Structure 1
Amino acid sequence: MPDQLTIVDHPLVQHKLTHMREKTTSTAGFRRLLREISQLLAYEVTRHLPLTTQLIETPLAEMEAPVLAGKKLALISILRAGNGLLDGVLELVPSARVGFIGLYRDEATLKPVQYYFKVPDGLDGRLVIVVDPMLATGNSSVKAIELLKERGARDIRFLCLLAAPEGVARMAEAHPDVPIVTAALDERLNDKGYILPGLGDAGDRMFGTK
């Protein structure tokens, strides 16, 4: 397992993930669980945010208290399924700047096709967290990070719900400087590029589409 990969094995994360995997879980239940689990994963992906201090006054005394330092971090959602993770992380970090990268997978080639790109300014001075529930082939994730690096991003982390060994290997080859935080490393991809055992298509299950 590459050093850049962190699997969050917290019992609450694993419990919620099991319910997300179940095919009988409703669309509403899937959305709720994804929002909840994204907040738990966000604690890990933001663990090393830089801190400074500021002077505050408690009801009893003055003190130098820790606060976040530097520019507001940037959350970048890979459309459309990334929005499910985005919503939960934003509840935890409401001041974050937000961007979107539209990529869809060509079902014949499994290669990403770009259709939208809108991200905050000043990425070179921000922590950039890219969110997408599934790291499957890794092609879309690799492409998204390439685009962000072209815009100046230097400190990038990738947050996903599930990862396949093939996707982790692809990311390690293309972007070994980008840490990956996930709830589980599954067995493999099937011949259509879906994660096994997985949870199906995250976007379809989130939005109730087929």
Structure 2
Amino acid sequence: MRTHVVDHPLVAHKLTTLRDEQTDSPTFRRLADELVTLLAYEATREVRVARKEIVTPVAPTTGVKLARPKPLVVPILRAGLGMLDGMMRLLPTAEVGFLGMVRNEETLEASTYAERLPEDLAGRQCYVLDPMLATGGTLSAAISFLTERGADDITVICLLAAPEGCERLEADLAGVDIPVQVVTAAMDEKLNEKGYIVPGLGDAGDRLYGVAG
């Protein structure tokens, strides 16, 4: 597994405002959207392309286009939905699936409660969207789900990551023989006793959409 922390002043600027507890939900949503587009630029450096012959107003030339099968973008419900528009702005021809996963707050383990994905993902590059790589349980389960259906290249895009979560992914993916990459805006210090990233930015879902319940 490769981990790429994007080092760019615009990324750091937007992340600082996202972290601020004074930032309201509309502003948080807008900045998260902008930040994901910046992260997606880095995450798609190895997106598969095919040659394409075209004619410009001046002369023939050879360019590239996205290869088939199309990339699949998979937001993890619900907070991953807040990252979808930013990703699709950069990759508008990709297809979108959904994976609903919930973390047990006592055991910190993740379980799947909903999914809308092709049955056969053979040969597909998948881009998984989840704001926080905290304990790693949710993303580990999501990656296992996708690889079992045949995905052969997975990139995870997170706003924030914790060392413990990355270590968990490394351990869980030890037997996985496909490329897996994590792209994030920052590697934070640690997890607290409740499994939240420190300093983090709080609960991404609640800050995107408010507290439901």
TM-score, structure 2 normalization: 0.93
Note the C-alpha offset of 1:29. 0.3
**Which residue of the other structure, out of 55, 58, 82, is the alignment partner of 2:56?**
58
**Within 2, Cα distance between the matches of 1:175 and 1:94?**
29
Q: How does 1:106-145 map to 2 (within 5 A)?
A: 106-145=104-143
* 2:65 paired residue number: 67
Structure 2, unpaired ranges of 5+? none
**Within 2, Cα distance between the matches of 1:173 and 1:116?**
26
Percentage of pairs with the same residue: 50
**Within 1, Cα distance between the matches of 2:208 and 2:6?**
22
Corresponding residue pairs, total: 208
**Within 1, Cα distance between the matches of 2:143 and 2:50?**
28
Note the C-alpha offset of 1:106. 1.0
Q: How does 1:1-210 map to 2 (within 5 A)?
A: 4-175=2-173, 177-209=179-211
**Within 2, Cα distance between the matches of 1:69 and 1:29?**
35
Q: SS state of the match for residue 193, structure 2?
A: coil
Q: SS state of the match for residue 77, structure 1?
A: strand
Q: Deviations over 1:163-192 (max 9, x none)?
A: 000000001111254111100000000100
Contact kept in structure 1, 2:111 and 2:141, CA below 8 Å: no
Note the C-alpha offset of 1:209. 1.5
Note the C-alpha offset of 1:200. 0.2
Contact kept in structure 2, 1:98 and 1:120, CA below 8 Å: no
**Within 1, Cα distance between the matches of 2:195 and 2:172?**
19
**Within 1, Cα distance between the matches of 2:10 and 2:119?**
35
Q: Deviations over 1:111-160 (max 9, x none)?
A: 11221011135411111111100000000110111111111112111111
**Within 2, Cα distance between the matches of 1:174 and 1:139?**
9
Q: SS state of the match for residue 34, structure 1?
A: helix
**Within 1, Cα distance between the matches of 2:157 and 2:8?**
16
